[in-house]
Amino acid sequence: MDSETYGTFIQHVKEINTLRSIQALLEWDQETYMPQRAAEDRGNQLAAVAGVLHEKLTRDELGDLLTKLEQEADAENYVAATNVREVRREHDRAVKVPTELVKRIAKATALARDAWVPARKDADFPRFAPHLEILLELKREMADRIGWDSEPYDALMDEFEPGARAAVVQEVFDKVKAELVPLVAAIKDAPRQPNTSILERACPPDKQGAFNRRIAEAMGFDFEAGRIDVSVHPFCSGHSPKDVRFTTRYDEHYIPMSLFGVMHETGHALYEQGFDAEHTGTPMAINTSLGIHESQSRLWENQVGRSRLFWEHFYPALQAEFPSLADVPLDAWHFAINTVRPSLIRVEADEVTYGLHIMLRFDLERQMIAGKLPVPDVPQAWNAGMQQLLAITPPDDAQGCLQDIHWCMGIFGYFPTYALGNLYAAQFFAAARRAMPELDRQIARGGLRPLREWLRENIHQHGKRYRAHELVKVATGEELAHTPFIDYLNGKFRPLYGL
Ligand code: ZN
């Protein structure tokens, strides 16, 4: 491989990613500290950066460099191979979708959002339906431009989970569904139920913030390369391993919101801080997929954060900080933070029912994009699905098919990454425990760094070297399977609920 050509290519790629980091920083500021009246200016700033970014990504010069490097490919050099392959993918996606279509989608989503807000408020699906129709048509057009083999949905999902195929995802989801539905039903009628009121006891937000920082630090978050702030919708924004910022929000009378929110976002943040700094600004230091990203947050939030082992060490500290919990025994706390209850709203769902909310959306999206589910039938299909999976029916569409913002933003193919994240998380955690027989004891003593190291070595440092399904195999020795997730849920929830 000609090192001069590669050098020029990497310089170009780093410029693209510098623009992305500027974009991310502007967005982070918009959600945290930006004064309200700056909204219009910020819109102009973001549009300007997006324009330059698109121009750089689609430039012929980049296409020529890629072609040259592909001809000289050296299979031994996986760093170069990864960077070339991933930038090719992005360049092609950007070139294939004409600016004119991007503009039409942007306009349609703006109008759809204007309709969705009041439609959700008044539970008035017909008001949103024509917009959904238009967006589906535009996204089908986009999928056709990008290209697909078995179904257009694959081309859309590929944006978030590169290389994933809907038919394969469906197969795994079906197996999970077959196990989850009876488990949820059994838990609903279980002889033992948690006392959830203890979670509503007063815990001052400033003390919550201090406690969260202790947990994030114990997990290995580097505060000299990142920060925690407050925003309405929590998120994590990575600019480089040296600058990773995430947010949380507080509810004085519901401590799990920020506590598990911070463990979740710290999981995302550790992934971003765990990339090899030498490769900053190139695909080798960028996440594999959103599903893998979500696996890191779910692993820390659920597998670790909602385990009894973790609280063996941290619960006395929590009680010392919050006297309102002083008379609550560890077991009662552990049961309460593992409450499972079929509910209507996805974002409030627990770790057992959550996947079912996702599988419903995945199923409907796939049918809508394929043109098999007419838009006017969506509410009915939604409600039938909720009844079948969770045995509840939304009283109206605001608590049903209108609840999520994704569709009005034209985002299709994103939801499955959430459920994939849970599956990956369980499989990674099982592999880490196999590799480190002392892991449970370490966690019970508050020693979380060894787990971070394992994740760093087996997942984080690879960046985009592997596609998600390959990474699962490399890190765990096995293909993606539903069993680690189901075994984990049965192992935790059946004893808890006395089943
Ligand atoms: Zn997340």
Please give the positions annotated as active site: 265
Other Cβ atoms within 10 Å of 112 Cβ, number: 22
Q: Same domain, yes or no, for 325 and 444?
A: yes
Q: Which string of b and e fits 190-199 if b means at least 16 CB within 10 Å? A: eeebbeeebb
C-alpha gyration radius of the chain:
23
Q: Same domain, yes or no, for 169 and 66?
A: no
Ligand 1 centroid to residue 241 C-alpha, Å: 18
List the end-to-end C-alpha distance of the chain, in Å, as a whole number. Answer: 61
So what's the pLDDT on residue 340? 97
So what's the pLDDT on residue 355? 96
Ligand 1 centroid to residue 154 C-alpha, Å: 22
Q: Same domain, yes or no, for 159 and 137?
A: no
User: Alpha-carbon distance 327 to 457, whole Å?
Assistant: 41
Q: Is the pLDDT of residue 270 over 80?
A: yes
How many structural domains does the chain have?
A: 2
Q: Same domain, yes or no, for 122 and 231?
A: no
Q: Is the pLDDT of residue 269 over 90?
A: yes
Q: Same domain, yes or no, for 218 and 272?
A: yes
Average pLDDT on 235-244 reads: 93
Q: Is the pLDDT of residue 338 over 90?
A: yes
Q: Same domain, yes or no, for 12 and 135?
A: yes
Query: If you average pLDDT over every residue of the chain, what do you get?
Result: 96
Tokens linked to 334: 């552990």
User: Alpha-carbon distance 468 to 493, whole Å?
Assistant: 28
Pairing of strands 226-230, 243-248: parallel
Q: Is the pLDDT of residue 53 over 80?
A: yes
What tens digit of pLDDT does each residue of 383-438 get?
999 999 999 999 999 999 999 999 999 999 999 999 999 999 999 999 999 999 99
Average pLDDT on 158-181 reads: 97
Ligand 1 centroid to residue 264 C-alpha, Å: 6
CATH classification at residue 24: 1.20.58
Ligand 1 centroid to residue 496 C-alpha, Å: 26
* Residue among 404, 27, 35 nearest 247 (CA): 27
What tens digit of pLDDT does each residue of 175-234 get?
999 999 999 999 999 999 999 999 999 999 999 999 999 999 999 999 999 999 999 999
Q: Same domain, yes or no, for 152 and 180?
A: yes
- Tokens 């994939």 — which residue? 420
Could you tell me the residue range of the domain that residue 498 belongs to?
A: 148-499
Q: Same domain, yes or no, for 152 and 132?
A: no
Ligand 1 centroid to residue 68 C-alpha, Å: 38
User: Alpha-carbon distance 309 to 188, whole Å?
Assistant: 25
So what's the pLDDT on residue 150? 95
Ligand 1 centroid to residue 419 C-alpha, Å: 11
Q: Same domain, yes or no, for 292 and 435?
A: yes
Final residue in a domain of this structure, among 128, 147, 166: 147
Share of the chain above pLDDT 90, in %: 98
Q: Same domain, yes or no, for 207 and 130?
A: no
CATH classification at residue 322: 1.10.1370.30
So what's the pLDDT on residue 239? 81
Range list of β-strands (E), 196-354: 226-230, 236-240, 243-248
So what's the pLDDT on residue 76? 87
Ligand 1 centroid to residue 268 C-alpha, Å: 7
Average pLDDT on 117-127 reads: 97
Ligand 1 centroid to residue 358 C-alpha, Å: 14
Instruction: Identify the band that residue 60 occupies on the pLDDT scale cut at 50, 70 and 90.
Output: very high
Q: Is the pLDDT of residue 134 over 80?
A: yes
Instruction: Identify the band that residue 2 occupies on the pLDDT scale cut at 50, 70 and 90.
Output: confident
User: Alpha-carbon distance 124 to 49, whole Å?
Assistant: 37
Neighbours of ion ligand 1 (CB under 5 A): 297
Pair 450, 143: CB distance under 8 Å? no
Final residue in a domain of this structure, among 147, 165, 191: 147
| DSSP code string of 464-498 | TSS-HHHHHHHHHSS---SHHHHHHHHHHHHHHTT
| DSSP code string of 73-119 | --TT-HHHHHHHHHHHHHHHHHHHS-HHHHHHHHHHHHHHHHHHHHH
Tokens linked to 446: 């508050």
What tens digit of pLDDT does each residue of 281-307 get?
999 999 999 999 999 999 999 999 999
366: helix, coil or strand? helix
Share of the chain above pLDDT 70, in %: 100
Average pLDDT on 306-320 reads: 98
The residues facing 391 across adjacent strands are: none
Ligand 1 centroid to residue 261 C-alpha, Å: 9
Tokens linked to 101: 């279509």
Q: Same domain, yes or no, for 84 and 223?
A: no
Name the strands in the sheet holding 226-230, side by side, starting at the edge strand that comes first in the sequence.
Answer: 226-230, 243-248, 236-240
So what's the pLDDT on residue 141? 97
Final residue in a domain of this structure, among 147, 162, 191: 147
- Tokens 């950007």 — which residue? 94
Q: Same domain, yes or no, for 101 and 179?
A: no
Ligand 1 centroid to residue 265 C-alpha, Å: 6
